[in-house]
Each structure stands twice: as structure tokens, then as C-alpha cells.
Amino acid sequence: MESLVYHRHTCRLCDSPKVPLALKLTDCPPVDAFITEEKRSVAQPRFPINLYLCETCGHGQLLDVVSPKLLFGDYIYTTASSPGLVNYFRDYATHVVSKVKPAPGSRALDIGSNDGTLLSFLKAQGLSVLGVDPASEVATSATAAGIETLPCFFNSQVGTELRRTRGDFGLVTANNVFAHSDTLGDMADGIRALLAPNGVFVFEVSYLLDMIENMVFDFIYHEHLSHHSVKPLQIFLKRHGLQLIDVERTASKGGTIRCYAQLAGGPRVESPEVPRLLLLENEYGLYRLETYTAWGNRIDAAKVRLNDLLTKLKTEGKTIAGYGASATGTVLTYHFGLGGVMDFIVDDNPVRQHRYSPGDHIPIVASTALAERKPDYLLILAWRFADMIIARNQAYLTQGGHFIVPLPEMRVV
């Protein structure tokens, strides 16, 4: 039987064996494994989510690799289910096309294209589009909807074959998938194989510096094998015949960088933003273990503050529910030990409702349950969206309810 997890001993980007532990979080089940009623009695295996820091190139990463089949085989998430993301990708497509200026009709490939939302906007911009995504049902649906999508993991073999059968690509995109692969070098080789001489590879990843600054430790989980920063990426891309030419910072997902790369020796000039961010990372101490020890201490202090409050409320007989059945909510629940505190979890996504949370098997219900069950306190697990959640649930507040926002600084509304 295939092992569900293995531990690698070298850096994913530069192969250095010097990768000490930087931040230890609590083991938990696959964070998106929200289960149905019939599986509720089955115990779910837990896996480590520990962050390691390469002493050679500075890359932050998980070394415990959970089987992609377990994590992505039954993947139910689609981009279109998030209205905010649809608008985000519409703007993304317009911005990238105006910046990169691919020739009209040139080919665009999206790696990890999901339901083809981004590609539909690139197609509207006059590009010939193709998607690659390993979630076979999602890929089949996207193709049926007019966005051809190959149901596979992208690697050097796929890149070489696409170059042979389709020609080169003027634009290659990969959004929040460059964090998911344990074989990033092979993926980069595939991109190099099919990129046109004047083509650009654009990818988005969460930014490790922002994660520390904004207390977004709950973004560290099994699917996110890499937590990127500019220096390690520059070294890595160069190693695979690519050159980092620009980086844009955005506030998305608690802090994201959008990176632009070309073939080594390509026609585009490096933006001054690249050396500026390299200097910033160095000054911040992003490649030093002490920075992560200090971060761990801040996380522990936040955990103590929250649990002190919850214990006090429980002794007063108050009822507590959660809000936000998300991957990050699973990490927060396990690391802060919240499983026994919440009677149920509210979520606005119908796909999550009538399921149970990973491991703890807390029932997930629609927000309509708030009017019926009237919990005294709602703990916002999806805390990065706290303002939006509170604005949407004013009726709960007016009937005497309270929101607890656990991070970045705990507050009660």
C-alpha cells in the first residue's frame, strides 16, 4: 500500500540538506477533508504541519509530504464558488495582458486552472487558452464549458509534449499552485520547455514575510508545501534556466506576491522591485531562525489569550459556535485546541454545509441556523474575512450575539 506521508531531508528549491525546524504546529487531518454523515464514525489520520527553513537559500517549506491523491483526489473547491475570486481573476487577466503584452492569438497556459475562470478572461482578451488540472471532474466540466483542460499534474514531460504538439506559449500562469508541488524543479523545467522566447511565466504565491507580519500562520498546511520569498525564488528560477524580472505585492490571502519570469537571457529588463524586496527580506531577518522563534512566541501568546477568554465564557454557561469552515480554520482549531469548544460551525458555502469538520467532526450548518440556535458567541475561524462576516450578520448582533475575532489581535464585537 502506498504510504500516505513521507519526510524529505533536503530543500525543495536548492537540494541543501541544511533545513532545520523553524515553526512547529499541531498535527491535524487533511485540512479540507470535511466529511459526510456516513463517514463520521471513521477516525481521520493526522499529519505534521511543521515549517522548516533552508539555511542555504532561505526557503520556508514543509518537509512532511502527504500523498497528493489523498489531498486532491476528491477536490470539491471551484473558483467560481467564490464571487470575490471571479472578480479578482477578471482584474488579474486585464492587468497581466496589459503588462506582458502577448501577441494577439498567442497561446496561454494556466497550470492548476481549476474550473477555467482565469482562462475564460484571458480568452476574452484574445488569447488561445489551455488549462492543466489534476482534479479530473473539475477538468472535465471546464472542457465541457469551452475551456480545454488536460486532467493531469503538470511536469517536464507534459511541458515537452505540449511544446511538440501545440507550439510555444507566450503566457504561462500558475496561481497558488507553485506552493503545492513537491517537485517544483520538474515543474519549472516543463515551463522552460514550452515558454516562447519572449514569453512570460506569471505566478502567485503567499508571501512568507507578510504571513509572519500579519500572523497568518494558519496558511501553513499540508497542501502548502512551500512558503515563498523573493531570494529563494530568484536562486531557484536561475537554476532552471529562468529569470525573475518583476514582483508585485498584493493584500490577497493575507499577503501575496505576483512574480514574473522569462527565459534566462530574455528580452525584458529586471524591475527595481526585485532588488528592493531582496533588501527588505534581509533587513527583516526572513532567513534567520530567531525570526521564526519570535513568531512562534507571538502565536503561543495569542493562543493563551483566546483560551483564557473561552474558558471564562464556558464557566459562565455561554454557548459558543464557530464561523468559517475553511482549511485555515482547521489549522487554527487544532493548533489552538478549539475542537471541544464549538457546538457547531457556520459556513456560507452550500458545499460545506451538512458535512463535519476534519477530525473533530463538528457539524457545519448554514448561517440561517443563527436565528434558530442563537449562540451567545461566534468565534470567527475565517478571521481574515471578519469585517465582511460581521457586516453580513448584523441581525445576529442586534439580537444580542457577540463575535470573537482571534487574530491578528483578539477582539470581541
d(CA 188, CA 194): 10
pLDDT tens for 198-242 read: 999 999 999 999 999 999 999 999 999 999 999 999 999 999 999
What's the one-letter identity of residue 402? Answer: H
Read off the pLDDT band of 1 (50, 70, 90).
very low
Confidence of residue 73 (pLDDT cuts 50, 70, 90): low
Question: Which grid cell sits at 308?
Answer: 483564557
**Is 251 within 8 Å of 273 (Cβ atoms)?**
no
Q: Is 254 left (phi over 0), alpha (psi -120 to 50) or beta?
A: left
**Bond before 102 cis per omega within 30 degrees:** no
Q: How far is CA 252 from the centre of its chain?
A: 10
Is pLDDT of 54 > 60? yes
Give the chain's mean pLDDT: 93
Q: What SS3 class is residue 149?
A: strand
Region 273-293: mean pLDDT is 98
Q: How far is CA 114 from CA 97, 110, 150, 153, 336, in A?
A: 20, 9, 11, 12, 32
* Model pLDDT, residue 117: 93
What per-residue confidence (pLDDT) applies to 82? 64
Which residues, 6+ apart, have CB-to-CB distance to 380 below 8 Å?
Answer: 322, 323, 324, 386, 389, 390, 403, 404, 405, 406
Q: Where are the domains of the chain?
A: 5-63, 79-283, 290-412
Q: How far apart are CA 58 and CA 145, in angstroms?
A: 42
pLDDT band at residue 74, thresholds of 50, 70 and 90?
low
Instruction: Give SS3 for 130.
Output: strand
- Residue range 90-119: average pLDDT? 93
Residue with the larger pLDDT of the pair 178 and 329:
329
Query: Are 79-283 and 290-412 in the same CATH fold?
Result: yes
Residue 254 DSSP symbol = G
C-alpha cell at 164: 511538440
Residues belonging to the chain: 413
As a whole number of Å, the CA-based R_g of the chain is 22
Domain 79-283 adopts which CATH fold?
Answer: Rossmann fold (3.40.50)
Nearest-angstrom CA–CA distance, 121 and 272: 29
Q: How far is CA 286 from CA 98, 229, 293, in A?
A: 32, 9, 12
CA gap 80, 215 in Å, rounded: 28
C-beta of residue 99 within 8 angstroms of C-beta of residue 122: no
The residue assigned the cell 469538520 is: 357
Q: What is the pLDDT of residues 120-159, one digit of tens each?
A: 999 999 999 999 998 888 899 999 999 999 999 899 999 9
Q: CB-based contacts of 398: which residues, under 8 Å, 6+ apart?
A: none
Residue type, 206: S
**Interatomic CA distance for residues 273 and 225, integer angstroms:** 26
Q: What is the per-residue pLDDT across 377-389, written as a single tens digit (0 to 9) for each? A: 999 999 999 999 9
pLDDT at 166: 96
- Which percentage of the chain shows pLDDT scores above 90? 85
pLDDT in the model for residue 337: 97
pLDDT at 84: 74
Assigned architecture for domain 290-412: 3-Layer(aba) Sandwich (3.40)
